Structure 1
Amino acid sequence: MIHSVLMFNNQGSPRLMKHYTPIPLSQQKELYDQIYNRIKLGEQQGQKTNFLTNNTESDATYQIIYKKYSGLYFVLLVDLEESPLRMLDFIHGFVECLNVCFEDVTELDLVFGWQTLQSVLEEMIVGGIVVEIDRKKIVQNIDELNGGHTSDNSLEGGVKRLGDTLFSFASGGFGTWSSSK
């Protein structure tokens, strides 16, 4: 079971915090700092693994599985029974879905597009259980949530969208808007 999905930037600022098991607010900041510090310490010591085990005060043991993508750490806190390689594959699939939804995702996209970020995560995980990993299906569902717009990344698609926008504007879009005010 996945207990938490976290995302940090290089400075340790949380960008995503989704908990599937309750963690008291008073302990969340301490947990984030502890995880971030362990990951950074491992990097400074030349650690070559993306898997850490953590023991908390309540003797609950879990795995910390993380992957760094362009300045962001994607972190999962999972049971010891979960396959670390499967969870790394999940993280990679999550990032690929975000990359398609945001067209070359950046940290700012995730900060300002948090609704899409949350939607992608909710399509993939329900109650701490991975329910969907088919990237095409996830992106299609997110696309339908956004009004059925397709993401055509080709040059022709961009020119067509620009042409449609200019045609709408020239057809009285601004004039209609300003006369109704």
Structure 2
Amino acid sequence: RQGKLRLQKWYVPLSDKEKKKITRELVQTVLARKPKMCSFLEWRDLKIVYKRYASLYFCCAIEDQDNELITLEIIHRYVELLDKYFGSVCELDIIFNFEKAYFILDEFLLGGEVQETSKKNVLKAIEQADLLQEPRHEYFNVPVY
């Protein structure tokens, strides 16, 4: 129940001050809720959808007309993608590989909308990006004359 923010993605422009205020309020609100309480709550003019996985909370703020159950499924799909990539994701994976966690999110969601529904396709795109980032050792072992 520390309330340390590990990842955040904003799809509306807000000042840093406003983002910090919103984050602080939401962390306090979500952490204060009991485990058996509903994963949906109304907050300001938005709906908050969250899900706890072990010690990690995943939280989304959605507009009033958006579907809470679909959002809960989106959170679950993101966690499944993280699990597949990291092999049972934990907080340390996200802390030390936050760039990859953001990359996975960006492959899955674009502008707050689901871009790719297939886990297989998302993971394939991530694997291809990983291959591009790997150093090519054959170039480093060529003797210079």
* TM-score normalised to structure 2 length: 0.87
Aligned equivalents of 1:42 and 1:104: distance in 2?
A: 26
SS across alignment from 2:30: helix
SS across alignment from 1:19: coil
> Within 5 Å, which residues of 2 pair with 1:6-45?
10-43=1-34
For residues 69-123 of structure 1, the C-alpha deviation after alignment (integer angstroms, 9 at most, x for no partner) is: 0101000011111110001111111000000111111111111111210111001
Aligned equivalents of 1:133 and 1:94: distance in 2?
A: 10
Match of 2:87 in 1: 103
SS across alignment from 2:28: helix
Aligned equivalents of 2:3 and 2:53: distance in 1?
A: 14
User: By how many angstroms is 1:52 displaced?
Assistant: 0.8
One-letter identity of the residue aligned with 2:66: E
Match of 1:52 in 2: 41
User: By how many angstroms is 1:47 displaced?
Assistant: 5.0
What is the root-mean-square deviation of aligned Cα atoms in Å? 2.1
Q: Which structure has the larger Rg over C-alpha atoms?
A: 1
The unaligned stretches of length 5 or more in structure 1 are 1-9, 56-60, 149-172
> Normalized per residue, which structure has more strand?
1
The higher relative CO (CA closer than 8 Å, separation ≥ 6) is in: 1
For residues 114-139 of structure 1, the C-alpha deviation after alignment (integer angstroms, 9 at most, x for no partner) is: 12101110011111211112111111
State the number of aligned residues: 137
One-letter identity of the residue aligned with 2:91: E
> Within 5 Å, which residues of 2 pair with 1:140-179?
140-147=124-131
User: By how many angstroms is 1:41 displaced?
Assistant: 2.1
One-letter identity of the residue aligned with 2:22: L
Aligned equivalents of 2:14 and 2:46: distance in 1?
A: 14
* TM-score normalised to structure 1 length: 0.70
The unaligned stretches of length 5 or more in structure 2 are none
Contact 1:90 1:133 in 2 (8 A): no
One-letter identity of the residue aligned with 1:120: I
